[in-house]
Amino acid sequence: MAEKNGKTAETAKKTNTEIIAKTRKIAKTAKKDATGAVDVGCCGKRIGVYPGSFDPLTNGHLDVIKRASKLFDKLIVGVLVNDSKKNPLFTIEERVALIRKCVKDMPGVEVGSFGGLLVDFVKENNAVAIVKGLRAVSDYEYELQMAALNKHIDRDIDTIFLMADVQNSFLSSSVVKELAWHGGSIAGLVPEEIEEDIIRTVSMRRKK
Ligand code: PNS
């Protein structure tokens, strides 16, 4: 028993020494912020990803971007390259360009596109969270499933939900496209900077 205890003590000492050495190594390489606290993000920045189809960006999306950009040092708007969505109004490049037009005065916001899994895009960009907007209870079930699925794929990535402003609760890219298609006004539903782009593209599509 004594020998067993002796061996156990020896093993425990060895394990402790290994843990201390590992901790010292991590502390040496970890970046620290101005207060000296260890930073878990990349380059001292807390990064969030706001993914979506954005075909096209609406005032509801822009509201989420503005609010989420205050929660992160950098917010990356990620446009999904989704081949399965038939008949999109804008190409991926056009969507990215339209969003960039609307966020040009927001220094903490970047726009990109991604194919494949969202969690991979999040990891590639060293982001810590996914941002989604919730308009109504009808959004909740799908978003809950997606958040749980993404958490299952990577436990380190959280999804943060921002409730849509009540005045945007009915707003979606599909509603905007349908209104524009039938000649209705989309003023106030999309950022002013891209209103004409949407109307022009819809009317060109109608003529085809
Ligand atoms: O604006 P949308 O169309 O509601 O956005 C949906 C989006 C882009 C958030 C969602 O389709 C997505 O995350 N797609 C990437 C593929 C993925 O990671 N799916 C979940 C695991 S199967």
> What percentage of the chain has pLDDT greater than the value 90?
74
In a domain, residue 155? The reply is yes
Region of 154 on the Ramachandran plot (φ > 0 left; ψ -120 to 50 alpha; else beta): beta
- Residue 171 confidence (pLDDT): 98
Cis peptide before 56 (omega within 30 of 0): yes
The model scores a pTM over 0.85 = no
**Residue 89 is assigned to a structural domain of this protein:** yes
Q: Alpha-carbon distance 178 to 110, whole Å?
A: 28
Per-residue pLDDT tens over the stretch 120-144:
999 999 999 999 999 999 999 999 9
Measured between alpha carbons, how far is 82 from 194 in angstroms, rounded to an integer?
Answer: 22
Answer whether residue 39 is part of any domain.
no
In a domain, 98, yes or no: yes
Q: What is the CATH number of the domain that holds 154?
A: 3.40.50.620
Q: Which atom of ligand 1 is nearest to the CA of 130?
A: 9
Q: Which two tokens stand for residue 51?
A: 């993914």
Task: Indicate which atom in ligand 1 lies nearest the CA of residue 146.
Answer: 20
Side-chain-facing half-sphere of 81: CA atoms under 13 Å: 9
Nearest to 66 by CA among 128, 30, 108: 108
Q: Is residue 27 part of a domain?
A: no
Of 14, 85, 205, 206, which one is the catalytic site residue? Answer: 85
Q: What does the alpha-carbon distance between residue 147 and residue 141 come to, in Å, rounded to a whole number? A: 10
Measuring from each residue's beta carbon to the nearest atom of ligand 1, which residues come in under 6 Å? 51-53, 80, 117-118, 146, 149
For residue 155, give the 3-state DSSP assignment. Answer: coil
Strand order in the sheet with 47-52: 109-114, 74-80, 47-52, 129-134, 158-163
Q: Which of 33-37, 51-55, 77-81, 95-99 has the lowest mean pLDDT?
A: 33-37
CA pair distance 11, 6, nearest whole angstrom = 9
- Provide the 8-state DSSP code for 134: E
Using pLDDT thresholds of 50, 70 and 90, give the confidence band for residue 44: confident
The answer on pLDDT for 32 being more than 50 is: no
Q: Choosing from 53, 61, 69, 74, which is the catalytic residue?
A: 61
Residue 75 — φ and ψ, nearest 5°?
-115, 125
Closest of 5, 113, 144, 1 to residue 49, by C-alpha: 113
Taking CA atoms only, the protein residue closest to ligand 1 atom 8 is 52
Q: Which atom of ligand 1 is nearest to the CA of 118?
A: 18
**In whole angstroms, what is the distance from residue 78 CA to residue 109 CA?**
11
Highest-confidence range of 24-28, 44-48, 79-83, 188-192, by mean pLDDT?
188-192
Domain count, the chain: 1
Given the residues 95, 132, 173, 177, select the one marked as catalytic.
Answer: 173
Give the residue, by CA position, lying nearest to ligand 1 atom 2.
52
Enter the tokens of residue 195: 């209103």
**Domain-embedded: residue 93:** yes
Q: Is residue 120 part of a domain?
A: yes
pLDDT: which is higher, 81 or 19: 81
Confidence of residue 94 (pLDDT cuts 50, 70, 90): very high
Q: Would residue 85 show up in a list of annotated catalytic residues for this protein?
A: yes
Residue 23 covered by a domain? no
Q: What is the mean pLDDT of the chain?
A: 87
Domain extent, residue 95, equals 47-207
Q: Residue 54 pLDDT more than 60?
A: yes
